[in-house]
Amino acid sequence: MTSTGFSTVAGGIGSCKNSSNLQRRPLISNRPFITQFGTSIRFPTSRDKVRLGVSCRSAGAQPNIVPANGGKERLSKVPISNIRNFCIIAHIDHGKSTLADKLLQLTGTVQTRDMKEQFLDNMDLERERGITIKLQAARMRYLLGNEPYCLNLIDTPGHVDFSYEVSRSLAACEGALLVVDASQGVEAQTLANVYLALENNLQIIPVLNKIDLPGAEPARIAQEIEEIIGLDCSEAIHCSAKDGIGITEILTAIVKKVPPPQENADKPLRALIFDSYYDSYRGVIVYFRIIDGTLKKGDKIYFMASEKEYFADEIGVLSPGQMPVGELFAGEVGYLSASIRSVADARVGDTITHFGKKAHSSLPGYEEATPMVFCGLFPIDADQFPELRDALQKLQLNDAALKFEPESSSAMGFGFRCGFLGLLHMEIVQERLEREYNLNLITTAPSVVYRVNRLNSDTIECSNPSFLPEPGMRKSIEEPYVKIDLLTPKDYIGPLMELGHERRGLFKEMNYITENRATITYELPLAEMVGDFFDQLKSRSKGYASMEYNFIGYRESDLVRLDIQINGEPVEPLATIVHRDKAYAVGRALTQKLKELIPRQMFKVPIQACIGAKVIASEALSAIRKDVLSKCYGGDITRKKKLLKKQAEGKKRMKAIGKVDVPQEAFMAVLRLEKEVI
Amino acid sequence: MLRILQPHFPKRLLCLPPLSNPQTICTNASSTTAVALPLPANSAAYVHLPFCRKRCHYCDFTIVALGSTTNSDSDPRISNYTKLLLREIHATEPNSDSDPLLKTIFFGGGTPSLVPPHLISDILDSLRSKFGISSDAEISIEMDPGTFDASKLDELLRLGINRVSLGVQAFQEELLRVCGRSHGLSEVEEAIGIMKSADGLANWSLDLISSLPNQSLEMWEESLTCAVAAQPNHISVYDLQVEQGTKFGYLYTPGEFPLPTVNQSADFYKKAAGNLPREGYEHYEISSYCKSGFECKHNQTYWQNRPFHAFGLGAASYINRTRFSRPKRMKEYTNYVENLENGSVADASSASVDLKDLAMDVVMLSLRTARGLDISSFVGKFGWDLTASLCKAFEPYVESGHVIGLDVKRKALPRSDFELGRDSDTQLAFIRLSDPHGFLLSNELIAIAFRSMSP
């Protein structure tokens, strides 16, 4: 769960198995974002017929799934000892969504026959309101031995960009289902989230899914889990979410193994926000888990980190739609609406308490969002600048991690420098701006935040190559490093080590976790990751490797600013910060690309890559020799004029760099190239 | 916003001699700044005679291929078409009283020389009765080798035709074949012989095409030499344009083998621009050369953006500042003529004309000529601001030698004097493209001019 509107992305960069379906660049526009509950989310646009609904694959009648009647009474209270809060940890495609759907069906939370309809209604309504649909939590009622239990399933995003949000979701649970594909085995992202769950003292229930498939090897995978994670798999549940096998066993295991929440209803209110989103009609909707105390409708509440106070106009539970209730007790999971203006006021990880009776301390683990990746966003059509600003402001209402400030450049005009949690976050924001707000954008190559130690011994942070202090002014540059864990079949160890080496990685260790699979650990600059690292990882391992990374700190590097000059004029947006060893190759690639894309002018145009005053790569565009329409057929000038007007029109789409007209496409291609080669 | 009226213009509509159609000329920005510019007299007529033996491989013009077997003298398609043409001329609004007699008539094609002279005679009669033909009118006809003999030419000359444009295109048998021309080199030589020996033909032109497939610089020099040796008064040199939908368009890509590279075809252009003036042919327009005084008067109408009538299939007229292209298909053209006769053709000429569009026409046409753009006339018609921004856009190209400023005596101005002052000190009287470098890049330069006029 995240504070953003697109939090329920399972898998993603660190865990995507099928790279052809999830190519990250360019974003495939109709790529659905899959929630854990099998809800396909495509960002709604007017021209899209948005497919929002629980996927049908689970909706078919299954003879062995008999929905319990308990579903209808799921709002009724149970003793806290009968509450179970859990999440599902799974790699994308390992069956999390299908399993979640089956749990909802079997508990009668959603009727089999209603499943599609009910959700569609809900979604249509939300779509009209222009918000992004999420299914973040579901309260289920399950009867075991005539005893009613309240089970709360809390969704977790699967992407490393949102690891903080994942940790907050986990902190709202006492247990987790670890779902592993019985033929595929454990993946890097799963591993990362399991470790996070273990750190949060969650009870983990291993589930081997897809045992009905011919390639399933539950025994081998169980052994793999034991070896890698050290989790006892003797009682691992064999399940096929698709065929409804093992679902009852899972529900029973949740009741029996996941501990109930602590009985803290008497303490002052403390509720952990694990998600929030902005609804343009009701303001921010906050999802929370009450750790201590009780919350009643109408209470005046106080957000301890943002120090904002509001009245809880509406509180309720998610089951899976929003169902208002009068009060919620410690251990319960719910939502509230309080006319909150921006998600920044109710950030994920913040603690809700009563304004009149504040808790002594907030819940642990709150962190401010720190952007790690930056890029410039410029409207292709300068007239769209105000629209871009409005759109970013609107997105920020729903995404406290998104940062932006105005930026202007001679070549690109007015735009914004934007900060993101990571690459996926960046791409989602770009995609939403383009799809939902119909903006045409140029994005500069993503950059990280460098720390520049200046000669006067102060340190400045710099995320924009144009603002890097001159060489004479700086003592050293530090760049952010990440520790990256690759999990790969042994056949691809060689190619992946090559990749690590190319990306200035520092090899740390390699371990065979099973006979055929190994983890490789590198420390490498974040800047090397923001390009096409993930695409390379997937292509060099034929899609089999997965990865996970953590920020580990700043290190000094021999970095330089590479400038591009066209006809002697520096082109600011094309400037980049690169490692000195790579500057030559990058400079050559960029100058060659520009030579390809800039139309020939009436004079010779040098295109150079420079470090300071030193030219390290140079190309020259030769002058056009001939561009003439000679014949004038019977005085019919209309066609000729049309051609010339088109030619003149083409010039409008170009940016003048000094005397040279550079087409927008050339900028975009070079920026794309920078993402690849740097 | 474009300013049209300068202080020295009275701030009111300039009322002019009665127009058959009251016309508004306005800018995009505002209709309150509408002015009426004087309409130049219409004294030109283009007549399209679309018949060819077969379509040449580079041609995408409106033609009717007859096939090589029929006898063009008695082909009913030609006589039927001529009847239609006469009906169109007859149904056309006559010129206003202020318009003079026709001073130029141009029979273009197609291959007009395939049309029997008696039909040409009918057309001329019809034009004469409708508009009148000046006694010193230039009457041109396009003729292709192999489609006429001395007596046919004689007949045409007797009808009053006094200028012939001979479509030679190349002096190499293999190039003529590659082009799909319906004649060979011997027909070319025969035709030139007829031209030279024709009594009473004081003015004829020879057409060549450069940058043909497999054409070498040597071949091109040879063609130029042969053209000069034929002693025409006028030579037109067209750089091959590979058009979509033509056989060439299907087979070739410009700049790629077997077509010459862009650099080679630039060299061809420069070769003509270098050689022909040495032989006494003045380079007076991008693709036209002539002995002194033998400019094609009819084409001057086009370059000076003056109005002209047009008749026939696909023909484009320019009347009351409105360009109109007739249907390119025979059936639709027939309908058009019928509608014209019963008065149901909508008069498009009353529509308002955009001043900037008009200025663009003037720029693109005048910059094709060696005379160039007449600055004081342009300022008068389109205002100081528009002219100034045009000059500003051209400044770098004056420096690079692609554009030249001239004073009233047509003396080239130094770069420093290339500026449009508001006072009478301004020496800049004409802007022209340099020969050959500016002409060679005329598209680019005109596009730059367009951009400066509509930012």
Does the pLDDT of residue A27 top 90, yes or no? no
Tokens 């589930």: give the residue: A207
> Tokens representing A62?
């299954």
Q: What CATH number did the domain enclosing B386 receive?
A: 1.10.10
Tokens 């319990």: give the residue: A68
Do B204 and B67 fall within a single domain? Answer: yes
Burial A448-478 (b: 16+ CB within 10 A, else e): bbbbbbeeeeeeeebbbbbbbbeeeebeebb
Is the pTM value of this prediction over 0.80? no
Q: What CATH number did the domain enclosing B251 receive?
A: 3.30.750.200
Range of weakest confidence among A329-333, A394-398, A435-439: A394-398
- Whether the CB-CB separation of A441 and A387 falls below 8 Å is answered with no
Give mean pLDDT, residues A96-118.
72
Do A490 and A547 fall within a single domain? Answer: yes
How confident is the model over B414-435, as pLDDT tens digits? 888 888 877 666 789 999 999 9
Q: How far is B36 from chain A (nearest CA, A)?
A: 23
Do B85 and B174 fall within a single domain? Answer: yes
Beta-strand pair A546-557/A147-154: unpaired
What's residue A61's pLDDT? Answer: 35
Listed in sequence order, the DSSP H helices in B106-172 are 117-131, 150-158
H or E segment to which residue B354 belongs = strand B353-354
Is A631 or B332 the better-scoring residue by pLDDT? B332
Q: Which residue in chain B is spatially nearest to A636 when comparing CA positions?
A: B316
In whole angstroms, give the CA distance from residue B358 to residue B365.
Answer: 11
In whole angstroms, give the CA distance from residue B360 to residue B397.
Answer: 19
Do A542 and A575 fall within a single domain? Answer: no
Range of weakest confidence among A233-242, A260-269, A372-381: A372-381
Do A430 and A506 fall within a single domain? Answer: no
Do B260 and B396 fall within a single domain? Answer: no
Average pLDDT, chain B: 88
In whole angstroms, give the CA distance from residue A303 to residue A351.
Answer: 6
Closest CA to A244 of A435, A29, A61, A9: A61
User: Band of the pLDDT at B24, cuts 50, 70, 90?
Assistant: low
Does residue B226 sit within a domain?
yes
Average pLDDT, chain A: 79
The CA-CA-CA angle for residues A643, A649, A650, to 5°, reads: 90
Chain B residues close to A637, C-beta within 8 Å: 302, 316, 323, 361, 364-365
What's residue A10's pLDDT? Answer: 34
Does residue B329 sit within a domain?
no
Q: Chain B 222-241, CB below 8 Å of chain A: which residues? A: 237-239, 241
Amino acid found at A299: D
- Whether the CB-CB separation of B361 and B355 falls below 8 Å is answered with no
How confident is the model over A460-485, as pLDDT tens digits? 988 788 888 888 888 999 999 989 98
Q: Which residue in chain A is spatially nearest to B48 when comparing CA positions?
A: A634
How confident is the model over A539-566, as pLDDT tens digits? 888 877 888 777 889 999 999 999 999 9
- Whether the CB-CB separation of B121 and B156 falls below 8 Å is answered with no
What's residue A136's pLDDT? Answer: 67
All residues at 6 or more sequence positions from A457 whose CB lies less than 8 Å from its CB, including other chains: A475
Q: What CATH number did the domain enclosing A483 receive?
A: 3.30.70.240
User: Band of the pLDDT at A42, cuts 50, 70, 90?
Assistant: very low
Domain that holds residue A295: 270-354
- Whether the CB-CB separation of A81 and A259 falls below 8 Å is answered with no
Does residue B215 sit within a domain?
yes
Do A567 and A643 fall within a single domain? Answer: yes
Q: Angle A218-229/A188-199 helices, nearest 10 degrees?
A: 50
String of DSSP letters for A93-154: TSSHHHHHHHHHHHTTSS-TTTHHHHHHHHHHHHHHTT------EEEEEEEETTEEEEEEEE
Do B135 and B270 fall within a single domain? Answer: yes
Q: Which of A388, A411, A444 is the last residue of a domain?
A: A444
Do A498 and A533 fall within a single domain? Answer: yes
Q: Which of A214, A233, A257 is the last residue of a domain?
A: A257
Does residue B289 sit within a domain?
yes
Q: Which of B303, B335, B367 is the last residue of a domain?
A: B303
Closest CA to A89 of A163, A180, A182: A180
Reported ipTM: the value is: 0.84
Q: Quick one: A149 exposed, middle or buried, by C-beta within 10 A (0-12, 13-18, 19+)? A: buried
Do A104 and A243 fall within a single domain? Answer: yes
Any A CB within 8 A of B451 CB: yes
Is B249 or B24 the better-scoring residue by pLDDT? B249
What's residue B351's pLDDT? Answer: 58
How confident is the model over A46-71, as pLDDT tens digits? 333 333 332 222 333 333 444 445 45
Domain that holds residue B373: 355-453
Do A248 and A228 fall within a single domain? Answer: yes
Do B362 and B234 fall within a single domain? Answer: no
Q: What CATH number did the domain enclosing A279 receive?
A: 2.40.30.10
Looking at the structure of chain B, the number of domains it has is: 2
Looking at the structure of chain A, the number of domains it has is: 5
Do B264 and B411 fall within a single domain? Answer: no
All residues at 6 or more sequence positions from B405 whose CB lies less than 8 Å from its CB, including other chains: B398, B412, B413, B417, B418, B427, B428, B430, B431
> Tokens representing A421?
């949690």
Does residue A252 sit within a domain?
yes
What's residue B260's pLDDT? Answer: 94
Of A628, A636, A644, Cβ closest to residue B325: A636
Do A347 and A486 fall within a single domain? Answer: no
In whole angstroms, give the CA distance from residue B23 to residue B11.
Answer: 18
Range of weakest confidence among A154-168, B11-25, B242-256, B439-453: B11-25
Give mean pLDDT, residues A260-289.
90
How confident is the model over A518-542, as pLDDT tens digits? 899 999 998 888 767 877 888 888 8
Give mean pLDDT, residues A586-592.
91
Do B225 and B89 fall within a single domain? Answer: yes
Q: Quick one: A163 exposed, middle or buried, by C-beta within 10 A (0-12, 13-18, 19+)? A: buried
Does residue A130 sit within a domain?
yes
Q: Tell whether A501 is in a known binding site.
A: no
> Tokens representing B204?
């004829």
Estimate to the nearest angstrom the gap between the alpha carbon of A224 and the chain centroid: 28
Does the pLDDT of residue B32 top 90, yes or no? no
Do A391 and A463 fall within a single domain? Answer: no
Q: Which residue in chain B is spatially nearest to A601 when comparing CA positions?
A: B444
Q: How far is A589 from chain B (nearest CA, A)?
A: 26
Pairwise CB contact (< 8 Å): A636 & B451: no
Does residue B225 sit within a domain?
yes
Do A592 and A534 fall within a single domain? Answer: no
Listed in sequence order, the DSSP H helices in A317-468 are 385-397, 423-436
Does residue A156 sit within a domain?
yes
Listed in sequence order, the DSSP H helices in A345-450 are 385-397, 423-436
Do B124 and B242 fall within a single domain? Answer: yes
Tokens 């053709």: give the residue: B345
Does the pLDDT of residue A414 top 80, yes or no? yes
Do A470 and A403 fall within a single domain? Answer: no
Q: Tell whether A425 is in a known binding site.
A: no
In whole angstroms, give the CA distance from residue B163 to residue B145.
Answer: 15
Does the pLDDT of residue A105 top 50, yes or no? yes
In whole angstroms, give the CA distance from residue B253 to residue B243.
Answer: 10
Do B293 and B360 fall within a single domain? Answer: no
What's residue A327's pLDDT? Answer: 93
Any A CB within 8 A of B58 CB: no
Q: Is the dihedral of CA A33, A36, A38, A39 positive or negative?
A: negative
Do A159 and A242 fall within a single domain? Answer: yes
